[in-house]
Amino acid sequence: DTAVSQTPKYLVTQMGNDKSIKCEQNLGHDTMYWYKQDSKKFLKIMFSYNNKELIINETVPNRFSPKSPDKAHLNLHINSLELGDSAVYFCASSQDSSGGWLEQYFGPGTRLTVT
Amino acid sequence: GQNIDQPTEMTATEGAIVQINCTYQTSGFNGLFWYQQHAGEAPTFLSYNVLDGLEEKGRFSSFLSRSKGYSYLLLKELQMKDSASYLCAVRDGGGNKLTFGTGTQLKVEL
């Protein structure tokens, strides 16, 4: 059974295009996240939603727009793609955002290549 | 802000013990996580420390000293499958925002 799933796994597109990445979790968790991992393997938080409400919004270009239709889904839409957006994007989820021993479960990642 | 430092690479021999260090500076420490990431895969949770001391889980142990801003991950009886990147992550404040270090790439050799 897949806990956190992402589609697509690979995405190759040209500069200037708009694309979306979808994420779903079947763990019953309240909080979901988007991370970006660059070519140097540095993993950085982008956004977090708790029960469909945005709670973390790091310094990310406004070309990136997360959307959470329900607490099991968190999608990431990227407008006007740039070369620097090429990275692996990971979705993650955790029980909630209030602290405590809250392990985050990661999806398999989406490798985005912008040409 | 936060600053998290880990060695970039380490090499160890199968069957040996290796210690991966992590130092951090943070304004509101609320726990430290270790994750393992194999090439091309997702990070997976290894351990969590919020109080000083050693947490042991099978071949893996993690230590924390909050006063020194220091943690280490200890891997015993190394196996080839332990070759991976090990990520130290610090939680700051009451939420669940994690700030990751750049990771330590461990290579286990025969």
Q: Is B30 on the interface with A (CB under 8 A)?
A: yes
- How far apart are alpha carbons B63 and B73 in whole angstroms? 7
Among B30, B33, B103, select the one facing A99 at the smallest CB separation.
B30
Q: What is the SS3 assignment for B41?
A: coil
Handedness of CA B9, B13, B15, B19 (dihedral sign): negative
Give the model's pLDDT for residue B25: 92
Q: Is the peptide bond before A69 cis (omega within 30 degrees of 0)?
A: no
Mean pLDDT of chain B: 93
Q: What is the SS3 assignment for B14?
A: coil
Q: Is B28 on the interface with A (CB under 8 A)?
A: no
Q: Which residues contact A104 (CB under 8 A, 6 or more apart)?
A: A33, A92, A93, A94, B33, B45, B96, B98
Distances in Å between the alpha carbon of A20 and those of A6, A12, A13, B2?
11, 12, 11, 30
- Which residue carries 């779903």 as its tokens? A24
- Which residue carries 């939680």 as its tokens? B91
Among B30, B43, B44, select the one facing A43 at the smallest CB separation.
B43
Tell me the per-residue pLDDT of B41-82, one tens digit each, with 9 for 90 and over. Answer: 999 999 999 999 999 999 999 999 999 999 999 999 999 999
Q: For chain A of 115 residues, list the mean pLDDT of each consecutive stretch of 10.
A: 90 98 94 93 91 85 93 96 97 76 89 97
Residue B1 predicted with pLDDT over 70: no
Q: Is B29 on the interface with A (CB under 8 A)?
A: no
| Residue B96: Cβ-neighbour burial (10 angstroms; 0-12, 13-18, 19+) | buried
Give the best residue of B62, B91, B98, B99 to mutate against chain A (max A CB count within 10 A): B98
Lowest mean per-residue pLDDT among A56-65, B10-19, B30-39: A56-65
